[in-house]
A = this chain, B = another copy of it.
Amino acid sequence: MTNKSKIINDPVFGFITIPNAFLYDLIQHPYFQRLNRIKQLGVAFFVYPGAQHTRFQHSLGAMYLMNETIKQLRFKGQEISNDEANGLLSAILLHDIGHAPFSHVLENILINGVSHEEITLMLMKKINAAYNGELDIAIKIFNNLYHKKFMHQLVSGQLDMDRLDYLRRDSFFTGVTEGTIGSARIIKMLNVQDDKLVVEAKGIYSIENFLVARRFMYWQVYLHKTSVAAEKLLVKILKRAKALCTNGETLFASPALAYFIRQNVTQETFNTDTDAICNFIALDDSDILSAIKVWAKHPDIILSTLSQAFINRKLFKVKQQDLSANERNKLIDTYVQHFGIERNDASYFFEVEPLGISSTYHRGNDQILIQSSDGSLLDIADASDMLDITILDKKVAKNYFCYYSINR
């Protein structure tokens, strides 16, 4: 690795040092480079123009935090072998390679019934095969099959490096400074006890802050109504495109995108068609954007209307409650009349989204545990004066009624 650049300038953490040559190779791998073409926050840039950052940066940031955490845990006496360290670093670096374009937005549209985690796993296994098993531990950790269970918690848990990075990073790029969390302080407070990740007692306020900041970011950014409206619009466009393809139309699309809209891709497809994974890897935000601009001129009034709306930022409007059956019927009438479409197809122009965050924190196997100085462990919900489990675990749901507005 003598000749390889080893330091990456990151506006969030300053400088990120790539720990070793193997990790450098993973970063250079096409599967990872692809993340440079997938925005971390999907279409949130419509609301927060700064939010153009990618999964690539996020994954590097999470790797950086993992490295800091490994140093900290070793300093406190936890044994973490070099192979385990590489496993942790690789697992977190690669944890997002299974993401579809625009991250979460299209997850169930382009591929049915396969989560991005499952695709990540498929891709990790392919890399592993090429690297003679160097990812064995990483895959076990990712999968929660490694015997040291706290390692999985660091990759995927209620206090994992993923969250520690994305909250800070999304806060930084959106300019929503209130979402800032103390990732460095939290890492200084981490420890492991009985194979469980724990937080030293004096870190309790930082954890409270972290939970609240996460909730804040959900409502202020991730579930911002304009952002949700843009997502719904994007989903409708792809649904219409798939419907047209099913009817035999040949829409403009890159080969990779064509693969996913001209058929119904499921787990079965990945199992049986070796092209599936190649096409997935070739697919990113640019295919979608580039196609939508062409579709904006397509003769199908539904596809072109929605595509123009997306490209020119005439997003769906949002009401924070559902319509009555009556109101909805009137709205459908309007679409039918205005566009000359069938009643059935009016649903391309609206959607009720029962939006919500399941819970800010829930007890379960993957607790956040506070370690007092005598070594006893308490669930954060019990240790905190402020946070009440009944509230933290409350599912907040709001109905967002998103619709295309004809008059603007």
CA distance A363 to B177 in the complex (A): 28
User: Could you tell me which residues of chain A, from 241 to 290, have a CB within 8 Å of some CB in chain B?
Assistant: 252, 254-256, 282, 284-290
Binds B, one of A42-50, A129-137, A145-153, A340-348: A42-50
**Counting CB contacts under 8 A, is A312 at the interface?**
yes
Across the interface, A289 reaches (CB within 8 A) one of B286, B293, B360, namely B286
Q: Which chain B positions have C-beta within 8 A of A252?
A: 254-255
Task: Give chain B nearest CB distance to A1 CB in angstroms.
Answer: 13
Q: Which chain B positions have C-beta within 8 A of A11?
A: 50, 172-175
Q: Are B385 and A396 in contact (CB under 8 A)?
A: yes
- With A10-B49, A178-B182 as given contacts, are A294 and B254 in contact (CB-CB < 8 Å)? yes
Q: Are A53 and B54 in contact (CB under 8 A)?
A: no
Task: Give chain B nearest CB distance to A401 CB in angstroms.
Answer: 15
**Counting CB contacts under 8 A, is A15 at the interface?**
yes
**Counting CB contacts under 8 A, is A403 at the interface?**
no
CA distance A15 to B176 in the complex (A): 10
**Counting CB contacts under 8 A, is A185 at the interface?**
yes
Encode contact with B along A212-235: 1 for CB under 8 Å, 0 otherwise. 110110011000001000000000
Across the interface, A290 reaches (CB within 8 A) one of B30, B180, B286, B313, namely B286
Q: Are A185 and B50 in contact (CB under 8 A)?
A: no
Q: Are B219 and A212 in contact (CB under 8 A)?
A: no
- Number of copies of this chain that the complex holds: 4
Q: Are A209 and B33 in contact (CB under 8 A)?
A: no
**Counting CB contacts under 8 A, is A37 at the interface?**
yes
Chain A residues within 8 Å of chain B by Cβ, number: 77
Encode contact with B along A184-218: 1 for CB under 8 Å, 0 otherwise. 11001000000000000000011011001101100
Binds B, one of A80-88, A115-123, A157-165, A386-394: A386-394
Q: Which chain B positions have C-beta within 8 A of A178?
A: 180-182, 185, 206, 209, 213
Task: Give chain B nearest CB distance to A315 CB in angstroms.
Answer: 11
Q: Which chain B positions have C-beta within 8 A of A286?
A: 285-290, 293
Q: Are B28 and A313 in contact (CB under 8 A)?
A: yes
Encode contact with B along A42-71: 1 for CB under 8 Å, 0 otherwise. 000101111011101100100000000000
Q: Which chain B positions have C-beta within 8 A of A8?
A: 49
- With A188-B15, A216-B208 as given contacts, are A177 and B174 in contact (CB-CB < 8 Å)? no
Task: Give chain B nearest CB distance to A252 CB in angstroms.
Answer: 7
- With A33-B312, A174-B9, A255-B252 as given contacts, are A391 and B388 in contact (CB-CB < 8 Å)? yes
Q: Are A184 and B33 in contact (CB under 8 A)?
A: no
- With A209-B212, A213-B209, A396-B385 as given contacts, are A52 and B54 in contact (CB-CB < 8 Å)? yes
Q: Are A60 and B49 in contact (CB under 8 A)?
A: yes
CA distance A48 to B215 in the complex (A): 28
**Counting CB contacts under 8 A, is A364 at the interface?**
no
Q: Are A255 and B215 in contact (CB under 8 A)?
A: no
Task: Give chain B nearest CB distance to A334 CB in angstroms.
Answer: 19
Q: Which chain B positions have C-beta within 8 A of A36?
A: 45, 49, 313
Task: Give chain B nearest CB distance to A249 CB in angstroms.
Answer: 16
- With A54-B52, A254-B293 as given contacts, are A182 and B177 in contact (CB-CB < 8 Å)? yes
**Counting CB contacts under 8 A, is A7 at the interface?**
yes
CA distance A263 to B62 in the complex (A): 46
- With A181-B178, A254-B290, A289-B37 as given contacts, are A50 and B9 in contact (CB-CB < 8 Å)? yes
Listed A/B pairs (11) with beta-carbon separation below 8 Å? A7-B188, A9-B49, A10-B49, A15-B188, A49-B54, A49-B56, A177-B182, A205-B219, A209-B213, A289-B290, A385-B394
In the complex, the 5 A-B pairs of residues with the closest C-beta atoms, listed nearest first: A11-B175, A286-B289, A286-B286, A290-B290, A178-B182
